[in-house]
Structure 1
């Protein structure tokens, strides 16, 4: 009799959970994948010009050091057509980083031909709705997700 009562309580509890999951609105559930989104962007084709490539000192803490010499890559963006948007400042220099904000290393710079004076076709994406990054660059010919230098430990 005790086993049957315990079994019935368990089934009742499962039925309650099923009912709650059906009735609970989807917006009340945490949605990590929607953090900052959904967002919309307007695309502006153009080109970047690399204006500086300079080494960055490694942190003193050995555990925070990168497995390569990091470099700061500074560029400017020139839209192909006139761009009137308050988010874009034509004279402002930007910094090229790998995915996650990590600076590139010397082998990355060599692989993609990044040096002062180099230019690359680039798309500038400016946010039109949502709360994601207001400005995103897509570089043609540079894969910022290519983190091969991290694998050389």
Structure 2
């Protein structure tokens, strides 16, 4: 029993040293982790559609009826055209956790078809995160409590 414990302890100490000493392994780790940075461009998001989602309810998903809110982003600023196809198509306005908002959230923030909101386009500059993000200064997309009220 004692020999087995010594063997396991030694193995636990030696194996990580070999894996950390591998330069290829270390460079792969640094490429796939770490913070991401974005450059932001001011613009507007026009709500183009709001439809109740017909997707089946997922286990652990929201208890409220979800609504698929789509918008189009526009800006007068010049941004990296590498992402022009991503930016110019309709986007979903989702909560921070990627769920679609519920009816109370939509009412609280006055989200309706044809309405325009201030919006910031973020284009990745560093890291391996989502290449394009949209931020809404006047909409708290982490306001989950409002989604559960009826």
TM-score, normalized by the shorter chain, greater than 0.5: yes
Q: What are the ranges of 5 or more consecutive residues in structure 2 without an aligned counterpart? A: 1-11, 13-19
8 Å contact from structure 2 (residues 105, 147) kept in 1: no
8 Å contact from structure 2 (residues 47, 72) kept in 1: yes
1:93 paired with 2:90, answer: yes
Q: 1:76 aligns with which of 72, 76, 79?
A: 72
Q: How does 1:3-152 map to 2 (within 5 A)?
A: 36-57=33-54, 59=56, 63=59, 66-89=62-85, 91-149=88-146, 151-152=148-149
Q: Under a length normalisation based on structure 2, what TM-score does the superposition of the two structures give?
A: 0.72
- Root-mean-square deviation (CA, aligned residues, Å) is 3.4
Decide which structure has the larger Cα Rg and report it: 1
How many residues align? The count is 144
Q: Segments of 4+ in structure 1 off by > 6 A?
A: none
SS where residue 119 of structure 2 aligns? strand
Q: What are the ranges of 5 or more consecutive residues in structure 1 without an aligned counterpart? A: 1-16, 18-24
Q: Separation in 1 of the partners of 2:94 and 2:43?
A: 19
Q: Separation in 1 of the partners of 2:61 and 2:127?
A: 35
Q: Under a length normalisation based on structure 1, what TM-score does the superposition of the two structures give?
A: 0.70
